[in-house]
Structure 1
């Protein structure tokens, strides 16, 4: 699960407000990756309250800030595959055409989920992504959410076509991978302070060394300067 989610959420809200003339979003759509089916309830019970706490920071006695929140979990680690029933519905390689949605038959009976294969296969059998809506306040219809998710899959900057995972979740993977490279020595147990413990003072020393490896000497919040609010990790 995500640690320190509240300040991360506040940072994104601040970035949105800076780009939109001081206005905060009235609706927030979260695509959450890296969660198994057994952790869906944990996302709702532990992570969603942290998001709510971030909203409270911008509430005033005169007006509460409580945007509508929808959380969609993306899953790629499954064994579900789909095949076209006729040649007219197949791509050139025999896979379903890009943009194929399955929201009946193979999905949950009482839950809000769907499979989307937004991309075209390069080799072998394509794997659709399973999108599972665990919380929905926006009230976005299934057809509209499926179309929006498919459209966002075309907004990945590294590709000229759609990608298999919705682009915000894909970008999050890239950001985490870049961060892991920065603190690689620490993850391998190599510490200048000689401590890699997880309690009290030792934990604080490890955090300070992680900040140094992240170049926090240049900025108190990690990568600084002109890179801080850019998607430099792509």
Structure 2
């Protein structure tokens, strides 16, 4: 999917999900019982816009594929890496003479902070899912925008950490859930291919976009779906 640079909202979210659901049904013969979505690259000022303009298309995509009765519970989290918070673990005390100071180290992978420094009216938590190779580790911030299934903080934190341990090209846990990490890598690889002329350039800023469940011409900037070659479709070509 290609859309204007700097645009935080995924204009073709509905159409993209509809395609994924159809492929899932072709491969397994059934549709998923629930949807767990991690969104990256969203600023705090755009959180409400994500709910307003992406959740609706996702629900309509489910109905378009599975019929009006197919409405799987949706859980939507926004992953943020750009923040100033650091987590440290107190491992003991050190010091000379009568002065004793706490001895600190990077937290162990899987450490969670969901109180004190979080906003009281927001459903959010910080997760240090990786071990820092050098320097101070920086946790990722997660903001839960939709939780239809009512999984609760403990279950969401646990499954989020598990998803940070499944990267196909890394034997260690990574900083963000692998689906979001793969999306970052795929976007970077696609941008590089676009610069090298892998497909025709957009004719205008609001280039043609598909219909389906995605955003239409009256719902903001449009997009276009760019198909992959048959030899690449379904593979981790961006790793």
Between 1:93-102 and 1:113-122, the stretch displaced more is 93-102
Number of equivalent positions: 205
The answer as to 2:61 corresponding to 1:54 is yes
Aligned to 1:109: 120
Describe the SS at the equivalent of 2:191: helix
Is residue 25–residue 67 contact of structure 1 (8 Å, CA) maintained in 2? yes
Gaps of 5+ in 1: 205-219
Taking only aligned residues, the RMSD between alpha carbons, in angstroms, comes to 2.4
What secondary structure is seen at the aligned counterpart in 2 of 1:50? helix
Please list the CA deviations of residues 38-79 of structure 1 after superposition, one character each: whole Å capped at 9, or x if unmatched.
Answer: 11101100111111121121244xx61111001000000000
The residue that corresponds to 2:3 in the other structure is none
3-state DSSP class of the match of 2:146? Answer: strand
For 1:166 and 1:87, locate their aligned partners in 2 and report how far apart those are by CA, in whole Å: 31
Please give the alpha-carbon distance, in whole angstroms, between the structure 1 residues aligned to 2:81 and 2:20. 26
1:192: Cα distance to partner?
7.7
Native 8 Å contact 1:119 1:163 kept in 2: yes
Residues 1-40 of structure 1 aligned to structure 2 (within 5 Å): 1-20=9-28, 22-40=29-47
Q: How does 1:67-82 map to 2 (within 5 A)?
A: 67-82=72-87
Listed as ranges, the matches of 1:106-145 within 5 Å are: 106-145=117-156
Note closer, same or farther for the CA distance 1:198–1:152 as it changes in structure 2 (3 Å cut). closer
TM-score (norm 1): 0.80
- SS of corresponding position for 1:161: coil
Q: Quote the residue 1:198 is aligned against.
A: 205
How much does 1:94 deviate? Answer: 2.0
TM-score normalised to structure 2 length: 0.79
- 1:138 Cα offset (Å): 1.3
Q: Which secondary structure state, in structure 2, belongs to the residue aligned with residue 183 of structure 1?
A: helix
- Cα displacement (A) at 1:182: 1.4
Three-state SS of the structure 1 residue aligned to 2:112 is strand
Structure number with greater CO (CA < 8 Å, separation at least 6) is 2
Question: Of 170, 174, 190, which residue of structure 2 is paired with 1:179?
Answer: 190
| Residue 86, structure 1, aligned to residue 91, structure 2 | yes
Greater per-residue helix proportion? 1
In structure 2, distance between residues paired with 1:163 and 1:72: 17
